[in-house]
Amino acid sequence: MANLILILGDQLSHQLSALEDADKDNDGVVMAEVHDEASYTNHHKKKLIYIFSAMRHFARELEQQGWHVHYQHYHPDNPEQSLEAVVSKLAAEHRPERLITTECGEWRLHSQISQWHEHLGIPVEIRPDTRFVCRKQEFADWAKGRKQLRMEFFYREMRKKTGLLMTPEGKPEGGQWNFDSDNRKKWSGKPPAPAPFRVEPDSVTREVIQLVEEYFPDHFGTSEDFHFSVTADQAQAALEHFIDFALPCFGDYQDALSDHEDWLFHSILSPYLNTGLLDPTDVCQAVAQAWYSGRAPLNAAEGFIRQIIGWREFVRGIYWLLMPGYAKENRLNNQRSLPWFYWTGETKMRCMHKAIDATARNAYAHHIQRLMVTGNFALLAGIHPEDICDWYLAVYIDAFDWVELPNTLGMVMHADGGYLGSKPYAASGKYIQRMSDHCQNCHYRVQDATGEKACPFNALYWHFIDRHRDDFANNPRMAMMYRNWDKQPDERRSAILSRGEWLLANLEQL
Ligand code: FAD
Ligand code: DLZ
């Protein structure tokens, strides 16, 4: 064997840099389902099923194209339980000239692979991951010397770089870079939300479902009703389904929450983008084309493209710019443990119950559930960033450290001092009431801040504002909140703070 090419579970792209210039006749590919990767967090059962099944389908496609693939199926008794062990064994057996791989998406594994050459006895060539619009160095160059890193300015650079939604004169289509102010409608059931795209499990996926049930019975969530795509063709069909049925309303209801609908008008494409079944630029081009051909409004197409070439690329840039220290940040000095109801959904707070219950069933919750419900609660309750980051890494099908960590530690917990937002995304129950129909079905009263049945988000919000005065009082975007708080009568403030104290001491009972 000339070269051994390692392909990881989130590198399922035929255009992967590790496969470039490879020789099907002489090089070998290795892919492995291993215990170490399947158990570094309490991965949702559907996430395990998705990754193993998509890996198996990808390996089969490679074999059909004539590649020699060494594929390890998961078994708890496999002698090789780590990627390094699998690769070492093959290297000893086949004596390749070198190992080639594409850079891995997370620091933990990346730092391990960077040391492998010391143990394998062959050179390890780590190639850049070309599946992103912005290279790591390009982001670092953009960031250098800037006082503040703001997604909006980065996004404009990516629009110019890709030409997406740009006029021939180099201006943004529609005369604006951003139509976010049009994208804040509450959804009250109309227009009806489309059913998500479904793929019925084939024999490969059914076998993996059994495997996960047998060997990962205690992992979070359910394997029931698995219907995600597991091949690039199926993911492409999911993209087309999104463009046909959900994209037209994606912008309007991007920030909405619903008591009845899990998926609303979201694309549910993140698992495919993050594992390589879909290419981000191709996806954005298809969405831009839908606008040019009159099949979707501009606020929807722009809003969607911003999420991908803006937020998705920005969080990756931040991750690689600031790791490994980033993962340890805790600037608000939070010390509370994650309440147990994050794992069970057993809480009387309707919005929290709904978001966690959907997460357990689907391995999915949309962005506003993650940010403004489960995330907002963790922020207000002062949960330790490591606890809440580990929860998000475990429970979502699309969760990989490079994208989960900045979103949770940065955007939600403001634990990094503000790279992902110039102020924390803290909100009281009023926000949830404005954007959803949860509150009318809730045990708690959203209009109250004190009293046994007062919505916990309310007193927790003001407690957060009060206890973090030193952190935020000088932030111009928070000034109004402090003015509102300070003009409350002393008696009311102390009643709200006592309720806040009680809530913080009794999180498990909420
Ligand atoms: P849509 O709403 O349809 O958006 C389209 C695409 O835009 C997504 O598929 C995704 O690729 C991209 N996108 C949107 N927002 C973001 C964002 N903030 N960061 C990066 N990409 C974005 N996304 C992940 O892919 N993996 C994660 O582990 C993850 N963890 C998150 C944790 C928290 C606390 C929060 C607040 C957000 C997290 N996100 C994560 C971002 C976002 O919530 C998901 O990308 C989105 O919900 C996926 O569903 P969708 O494909 O239907 O997205
Ligand atoms: C997330 C995951 C899981 C659950 N299992 C595997 C696996 O068995 N083999 C593998 O190659 N990759 C797996 N992955 C993905 C990795 O843990 C890791 O998150 C990514 O490769 C980071 O880029």
Cα gap 413→398, rounded to integer Å: 19
- Give this prediction's pTM: 0.97
CA dist., res. 175 & res. 143, Å (int): 26
Ligand 2 midpoint to CA 380 (Å): 32
CA distance 234 to 200: 11
Q: Which residues pair with 336 in a beta bridge?
A: 383
Q: Which atom of ligand 1 is nearest to the CA of 392?
A: 32
- Tell me which residues have their CB closer than 6 angstroms to ligand 2: 8-10, 32-34, 37-38, 43, 48, 51, 83, 104-106, 109, 400
What's the pLDDT tens digit per position in 336-364?
A: 999 999 999 999 999 999 999 999 999 99
Which listed ligand is nearest to 58 at the C-alpha? 2
- Residue 279 three-state SS: coil
Weakly modelled stretches of the chain, pLDDT under 70: none
Distance (Å) from CA 24 to ligand 1 centroid: 36
Cα(209)–Cα(223) distance, rounded to whole angstroms?
A: 7
Position 317 scores a pLDDT of 97
CB distance 324 to 280 below 8 Å: no
Give alpha helix (H) positions in 163-222. Answer: 203-215
Report, in this order, helix, strand and coil percent for the chain, each rounded to 5.
50, 5, 40
Structure tokens at 305: 């493209």
462 Cβ below 6 A of ligand 1: no
Give the contacts of 118 (CB within 8 A, at least 6 positions apart): none
According to the model, what pLDDT value does residue 359 have? Answer: 98
- For residue 182, the model assigns a pLDDT of 76
Q: What is the pLDDT of residue 155?
A: 97
Place of tokens 């158990």: 39
Compute the distance between CA of residue 430 and CA of residue 447 in angstroms, rounded to an integer.
8
At 79, list the tokens: 């002698």
Q: Which amino acid is at 503?
A: L
Whole-number pLDDT of residue 466: 97
Residue type present at position 181: S
At which residue do the structure tokens 């969405």 appear?
287
- Give distance in angstroms: CA of 17 to centre of ligand 2: 18
Pairing of strands 3-6, 124-127: unpaired
Identify the pLDDT of residue 181: 80
Q: Tens digits of per-residue pLDDT, 276-313?
A: 999 999 999 999 999 999 999 999 999 999 999 999 99
C-alpha–C-alpha distance, residues 43 and 49, integer Å? 10
Residue among 9, 29, 32 at smallest CA distance from 80 = 32
